[in-house]
A and B are shown apart, each in its own frame.
Chain A
Amino acid sequence: MKLLVTLKRTPQRDARIRISEEGDALDLDNVQFEVNPFDELAVEEALRIKEARGEAEVVVVSVGAEECEQQLVSAMAMGADRAVRVHHDGELDSLQVAKALAAVVEREEPDLVLSGKLAVDDECGQVPAMLAGLLGWPQASQASDIELSEDASGATVVCEVDAGLETVSLALPAVIMADLRLNEPRYASLPGIMKAKKKPIATLGIEELGDLGPARSRVTGFRALEDKPPGIKVGSVEELVQALEEKKLI
């Protein structure tokens, strides 16, 4: 079987992001990047499916400029077999990315697409759902457990919903989005990275993938959160009540 995982290059999770002085862009000069943590869960899940079934190909796909090949290599260092990069240097909105990915999916014809439930940079979380919609495939979101049927014709997925857990079953091919509790990703270590360097990365021009249409949304500006005032310590319940009254909270 073939498993396709979409992944995005996002700033390192601990990185401190600053906004440019004009407020129209992010200052990413000294920021390191990594595979979007939720996409990494999707890669790990694909590798576990491969290991459990004994035979499967795991293909990782990303849309972006040359530097996002670092993240594709990281995914291959974890164990993915090959990578596809859709070359584009510039802004795209979610639907354009979804259309590009849909075109790759049509070429690759995987049995299952796995992706993170959202990317930690803009937290839009739209692409996987749009991708399923464009492909006309079923989707399961916020997955915390995935079980494939023996013949890989369907999957049972436990989804995290606000009230608890919802179990859905769906026919493959499908799009499944990974949530935090799906697994604990493995470490991309040195021998893995060395092997990954020998694995192939195919590059596709975005123009080869058909008309992506105009962007329907664009970023108009950034604003940092205002600093929260520091908390205060109170000595007793009476002081607490008094403090809350002073702030007109009760």
Chain B
Amino acid sequence: MDKLNTIFAATVTREILWNVPTWARALMYILFLAAAVFCVLGIARRVRSWRRGREAGEAVSPGKAWRRLWRDAVLQVRIWRSGAAGLGHALVFWGFLVLFLGTCIVAVEDYGSWLLGREHLFFTGTFYLGVSFALEVFGIFFLLGLVLALSRRRSGERLRPLSRPVDLAVLWLFLVIGLSGFATEGLRIAAAGGGLESHPFERWSFVGWWLATGLQGLEVNVLTSLHLGFWVGHMVLSMVFIALIPYCKLRHIFFAPVNIALREDRKAGRYLGVSMEEVEETGRYGAAVASDFTRRQLMSFDACTECARCQTVCPATATGKPLSPMKVVLDIAGSSEGGESLHGDEISPDVLWACTSCGACVEECPVYIDQLGAIVDLRRHLVAEGEIRGSAQAALRSVAAAGNPWGMPREDRADWAEGLGVPTIDEVDSPELLFWIGCAGSYDRRSRKVTEAMVRILQAAGVRFAILGKGECCTGDPARRMGDEFTYNELAGANIESLSAATFERVLTTCPHCFNAIRNEYPDLGGNYDVVHHSEFIEELLASGRLVLEDGAAVRGTLHDPCYLARQNDVVEAPRSVLRSTGLDVVEPEQSGKEGFCCGAGGGRMWMEEDTGERINSERWSQLQETDPETVAVGCPFCMTMMTDARDAVDSPVEVKDIAELVAERLPGSPA
């Protein structure tokens, strides 16, 4: 290499802006200035619109921000999940990034050498050859990615309902910019300095070299004219692109990395709280207009790439409901510069109430937009306006008055425990577990069987546990998902008081909604507890040998993952491992684990009518049937109700059972 350097040091480079006359250079600077002004103004307008939002959230440490950028912007980790589209984007992105860096290097070399009065700065020798080679490779990546993206659109694969002509035009623009760049290079290599022989080292620019060898027959003046033509075309189109960025979905080039780096650190299952003092002071609650969102939320909406992955995974969209999480985000972003109401024909109550709060959109979004958080803020406004009626309102009233959404008497809450030898917390001194029963586990006939099965398991394993009894009330999860923070705060406050008055090591719950609320949301109100879902706890009991199950015949089955367990809380393996130890041969449905498909009951949907489109639970049931199961295992009382209803609607003989029931069936001495 050293030898190569000494031989070529003086000559291995190229003349920057070769064959570009003064008028063309002037045109470049004028257009660049105009494009830059357009671009900066457009970005400034968006940033100003964010500043209208409320202040909220903690700053992200620089180290964390860089790590996030490295993972999700540079390495494109989240993009990769969707196959060809992910590959296409990564190729275009990496190609674009390296070509952009190449342009920067050339600019630094040009201005730097001029400023320092030197012939060259560093764009010579091996560095020149290395950069040239890299630009060829990544230029090809860029073109390949574009061809992939264009062919996907051509073949109609996953044609998005919201795809607009401008989306296609942007791809063609990129393609022409890329091709004209290679053409300019080829023409330069063919014509500059008397042709190929004068600079054999340009072989490193292998695409340009290859083009140049094909162009050798042409006269030099034809080559130089063509070169100038392509150079001007390439330059003008690049300026058009720069000017366009803030005015179409290309704006994600700026805003997606910003959101990836600066987004709030928060799980989808943990909602942003609302302070009652603030509501009292401002009289505002929920999002009526764009400026009711936080600055960070408004910033995130501008990061939207319109990839539509959120609506592809949305159970409401999939079953013909009027909700598209992407459209909600775009509608808010579209109105963030004005002050008009967000609520109307586009974001209607039907759109907002269709959400099951399953969080699939949030999990899927490649640029970390929290669509669910936005929907909840919009729901809060509906609640503030009293726009929650019928059965959903009745559930909210019942939960506030009776401590459970069905309006069953408080004093009956522990009736299920009669004769089972289950002690209440005041009867046991510092138990290992506080068994949190939940409303369904306390009152719902079917879910009570799950509670009883769990009691048998705890008793068989000799676990010292107790229940709160009549002192337990709804965690507030349904109220919070429906947008009623007031009721949520009342209920959560009451529960935190009861829990904090008791002494125990951990809280056990069979309901992922209770699990999520106590684990992720109660800490915001001062309630910090070690919470386990029964699937995790049973796994521990089995692993430590405290619980031993009897062998039995293997059963083919599948697991329907609860959203609030798998997706919101990353509990994916525990239920599977427990099911396997009961002899269930778990066959995975296509959508499972963190990518599971909701049963349809979250977000307060449990208490609402579903009268538009297909039923979400029936859709899920059909998906599960593709695994040809004898048993469908669930780990959530809502899923239990929804899957049982879906099964009964088609009169299927398949069993729907909770994990706890399947375990209890294999307890020694238990009737199978």
Which residues of A are in contact with B by a Cβ distance under 8 Å? 12-16, 30, 32, 34, 78-79, 184-195
Contact = CB atoms under 8 A, between A and B. Distances in A.
A14 B384 contact: no
A184 B402 contact: no
B384 A79 contact: no
Give me the 7 closest cross-chain CB pairs, A-B, nearest first. A186-B386, A14-B407, A190-B486, A184-B389, A16-B409, A187-B386, A12-B401
B283 A32 contact: no
A190 B402 CA distance: 18
B386 A14 contact: no
Contacts of A193: 486
B389 A191 contact: no
Nearest to B283: A191
Contacts of A184: 389-390, 393
B9 interface: no
Contacts, number: 68
A186 B387 contact: yes
A90 B268 CA distance: 52
A185 B389 contact: yes
A19 B486 CA distance: 33
B279 A191 contact: yes
B485 A190 contact: yes
Given A12-B402, A187-B484, 10 more contacts: A14-B401, A14-B408, A16-B411, A32-B401, A186-B388, A186-B389, A189-B383, A190-B485, A191-B384, A195-B283
B386 A78 contact: yes
Interface residues of B, number: 28
Contacts of B390: 184
Interface in B238-280: 276, 279-280
Contacts of B398: 14
A30 B280 CA distance: 30
B385 interface: yes
Contacts of B96: none
Overall SS of chain B's interface: helix
16 contacts: A14-B407, A16-B409, A16-B411, A34-B397, A34-B401, A78-B386, A185-B389, A185-B393, A187-B387, A187-B388, A187-B389, A189-B285, A189-B385, A190-B276, A190-B383, A191-B285
A34 B387 CA distance: 19
Contacts of B402: 12, 14-15, 32
B466 interface: no
Contacts of B64: none
Contact of B386 (A12, A32, A34, A192): A192
B389 A14 contact: no
B484 A189 contact: yes
Interface in B370-391: 383-390
A26 to B, nearest CB: 15
Nearest to B400: A32
A188 B487 CA distance: 11
A181 B396 CA distance: 20
Given A189-B285, A194-B279, A13 B407 contact: yes
Residue among A14, A15, A187, A192 facing the most chain B CB atoms (10 A cut-off): A187
A150 B442 CA distance: 53
Contacts of A15: 401-402, 409
Interface in B172-228: none
A138 B656 CA distance: 59
Contacts of B401: 12, 14-15, 32, 34
Contacts of A188: 386
B621 to A, nearest CB: 28
B407 A189 contact: no
A187 B383 contact: yes
